[in-house]
Structure 1
Amino acid sequence: MNSLLVIAPYKFEGMWVFDDPAVGLRQEPFVSGADTIIDMLTQSIPNAAEGFRLVFSAQPFPGYEARFVWNRPEMGGNWYAWPEGGIEGWLCPALFKYFETAPAEIYVKASAK
């Protein structure tokens, strides 16, 4: 399994979603705070709603811009807190398409495509 993973979220019907044919996902939505976190991460990315690059990993990597800390499981997904952003968001069971178990931390970097 790769150490660094990448998806390209975009807005569809007013919601942040992403496609990843390699793992069988199409228009998978971000909900329950994860959408607000993406709004925060993309504030300085021009035309982010048309698509941006989101690199993520369970390990820190050079240039990561946010660290999310596991809080608790709920309804098959997991809640993660962004301490520096003062917010938490829920990641649905699609998380397990990328990780065998919910990582203790997730590091991310959002950038223009």
Structure 2
Amino acid sequence: MANAMMEIHPYRAHDMWVFDDPAVGLVQEPFVFGVPEMIDQATKAIPDAVNGFRLLFSAKPFPGFQHELVWVREEYEGNWYRWAATGEEGWLCPALFKYFETAPKSIYCLMEPRGVGEG
């Protein structure tokens, strides 16, 4: 069973938003199909986000969450989510299942500069 709160550190590489998570075997895992545009918009206020930022996420709301992604549908072994605040949609690939047993109905996110909140 996945933790209630998870953390990754996305960054730009090869003109894409990617992240590494050695604990689940992911290296430069790309965000694709609508999600990069969501990240661009959501990180505008984060200084130097392209070199990495902290992304906390959970299937349950948590204090300080900023964004809610609402499940829309499954397609090609991945899942489409709609950003509740904007209506934009993005596809999360099967790497989602490294963090969740099933696609959650909502994913709650907090994005902040690296180093904030880290021990």
Matches within 5 A, 1:2-21: 2-21=3-22
User: Could you tell me the TM-score, scaled by structure 2's length?
Assistant: 0.93
What is the SS of the residue equivalent to 1:26?
strand
Equivalence for 1:80: 81
What residue identity is the alignment partner of 2:113?
A
- In structure 2, stretches of 5+ residues that fail to align are 115-119
The equivalent of 1:56 in structure 2 is 57
**Unmatched segments (≥5 aa) in structure 1:** none
User: Which runs of structure 2 are paired with 1:16-55 in the superposition (5 Å)?
Assistant: 16-55=17-56
Superposed structure 1 runs of 4+ greater than 4 Å apart = none
- Deviation of residue 63 (structure 1)? 0.3
Q: Deviation at 1:83?
A: 2.4
For the aligned residues, what is the CA RMSD? Answer: 0.6
Q: Determine the C-alpha separation between the residues in 2 that align with 1:35 and 1:75.
A: 19
Give me the identity figure in percent.
Answer: 58
Q: Which amino acid aligns with 1:87?
A: E
Mapped contact 2:9–2:20 kept (Cα < 8 A):
yes
Equivalent pairs counted in the alignment come to: 113
**In structure 2, C-alpha distance between the alignment counterparts of 1:59 and 1:83, rounded to whole Å:** 15
Q: TM-score, normalised by structure 1?
A: 0.98
Per-residue deviation, residues 30-73 of structure 1 (Å, max 9, x unmatched)? 00001111111100000000000000000000000000100000
In structure 2, what residue type is equivalent to 1:55? Answer: L
- Residue 86 of structure 1 deviates from its aligned partner by 2.2
Cα distance in 2, alignment partners of residues 105 and 83 from structure 1? 9
Native 8 Å contact 2:70 2:83 kept in 1: yes
